[in-house]
Structure 1
Amino acid sequence: MTVYKESFLRKHRPKIIQKTRNPICLADRLFEKELISDEMYNKIHKTKTEEEQMREIYKCIKTTKHFDYMYDWLKENEPDVFEELEKSDTEAAAPQKKRYRGDTSQTGDETDNHTEFPDPLKTGFSFAKLETWVSEKSQELISELEIKLGERRHEGFEKRTK
């Protein structure tokens, strides 16, 4: 279960940062349990917005003990956010509907495109809605990639790409 908790927190990092309402309370509990240092605790308290405070908390959590505690705290203190994230995981795990790939008989191109983009003409998307969809999906895909690569492999990848 511990591996699940860590991967859940990493996968949903952007949404957890955005939606956690009381990160100072989480920081207080982490400090009481001696899971973060005085320096990190003070740094979290000095930041102005809740999003910045959650980003600082994420910087602190490194061990399975950290991930376990944070997961359990969020589940207990942010049940609405937690249910939404678990629901999105369940929906993502459901089988996808078949999509039209176009006529491939003449081109022979049968590559599978995993990212389904909304058709603005069929769904009534405005430019603002389309822009929001793209930004939300990109964060999710980036988070998934970071989880798959892992921190060490990600650093090596950055070095190789420079």
Structure 2
Amino acid sequence: MKTYGSEPGAPTSVQVGISELAVSDGDDTLKSYGLGSCLAIALYDPDGEIGGLAHAMLPDGDTATNSDRKPGKYADTAIRALLRRMVERGASYTSVEAKIAGGSDMFEFDSFGDGVGKRNADAAREELEKLGVPLVAEDVGGTHGRTVEFTPGTGTLLVKTSDEDENGVTEL
């Protein structure tokens, strides 16, 4: 049976939804849509051309109950799960680099202190530092949504913003 639009060996596009993560290699494109306070975490090994993308919703999974242990849901556990899966596919832990995007504070709730978006970005930075993974680029904060497209083979993270003043694409 012939499948149109996806030739053998052609790059594929994988959607990474909220609380999900995916690992791939080469020219595949990993995409996350509608990042508000959620954080996209892209890890890649430039030598092995292996990378992964997570769409983390909350900052700290270490305090989650056992019934709520989906690793992609939390910034800290998503980073550890991505690293583990990448190394299992042949990535070199010491070569891995990180990029993050999202973490907007789209709504203000004075009673909560720092917004979830800022806490997500802070948790990711802290976990990356703890694991010795350099954060080489970021596009975080603000009050606008984002969509990201990540190509593990090149480490390119395209960030599309949905801000009235800043409708555009940034390459990290």
Query: What's the TM-score bracket when you normalise by the shorter of the two chains?
Result: under 0.3
Normalized per residue, which structure has more helix? 1
Q: What TM-score does the superposition give when structure 2 sets the normalisation length?
A: 0.25
Larger radius of gyration between Structure 1 and Structure 2: 1
Normalized per residue, which structure has more strand? 2
